[in-house]
Amino acid sequence: MNWWLDIQSREIQWAHAYRRLTMYHYITPEVLEDLFAGQPPAGLQPDVIDITEPLSLDEGIEVIGILFAGLRFVVFFADVLVYALGDPEWIEETADEWANGFQPAPAARLVKFMRADADADTMFDPEAWPLPHPRLIWQFCEVLARALSIHAQFFPGIPQYFYMTQSSQLDLLYNRLGRRFE
């Protein structure tokens, strides 16, 4: 593969500060229908694990669907400049302030996942959408890693991926997941 995942403290700090575009508005009934076509309805087959192929939603925005433990998740991949709403100065300011000047490579992707059925109030609240059993977190990390690998296979020109955390619990999860790619 000709891609890599940079997980270093300066990069993680940069991604933490980089919450500009919301992915939530891309979740529509039509997108979910296209993304999860051919999969069993959520909740009917709790032992099924499935990861969809990437679906391009907009220029520089892709999504992958995950069926895990009877739950549906979406994993968004956003081009850094698209996420910054086309503002390279904002990227530079954010890099200077939060990551000691580190700037992601052009076409790098920010990665964010959430439950497919999340709403605007709970989409980043892990307590609102726990896994059926806490010990499933390790398997879920594996599935997230596979989703990233699938994205990289479909988009081999992507040089870097950055996970975006919204809580300290997710920060721990992403740090564990990041170590698998070092």
How much of the chain exceeds pLDDT 70, in percent? Answer: 76
Q: Which pLDDT score is estimated for 132? A: 86
Q: Which pLDDT score is estimated for 12? A: 39
Q: Which pLDDT score is estimated for 22? A: 64
Please, how many CA atoms are within 13 Å of residue 37, restricted to the half-sphere of its CB?
8
Residue of 116, 108, 98 whose CA lies nearest to 155:
108
Residues 149/181, Cβ–Cβ less than 8 Å: no
Angle at 168 between CA 64 and CA 89, to 5 degrees: 70
Q: How far apart are CA 63 and CA 110, in angstroms?
A: 11
Q: Which pLDDT score is estimated for 53? A: 96
Q: Give me the amino acid identity at 72.
A: R
The residues, ordered by sequence, that sit 6+ positions from 43 with a Cβ below 8 Å of its Cβ are: 70, 71
Say whether pLDDT at 87 is over 70.
yes
Q: Which pLDDT score is estimated for 168? A: 53
Give whichever of 6-20, 47-61, 96-110 has the largest mean pLDDT.
47-61
pLDDT digits (tens, 9 = 90+) for 113-126: 888 988 877 777 77
Q: Which pLDDT score is estimated for 83? A: 83
Give the chain's count of helices (H) and strands (E): 6, 6
Say whether pLDDT at 30 is over 80.
yes
Residue of 173, 113, 122, 182 whose CA lies nearest to 147:
113
pLDDT digits (tens, 9 = 90+) for 48-85: 899 999 999 989 999 999 999 989 999 999 998 888 88
Residue with tokens 């609240």: 125
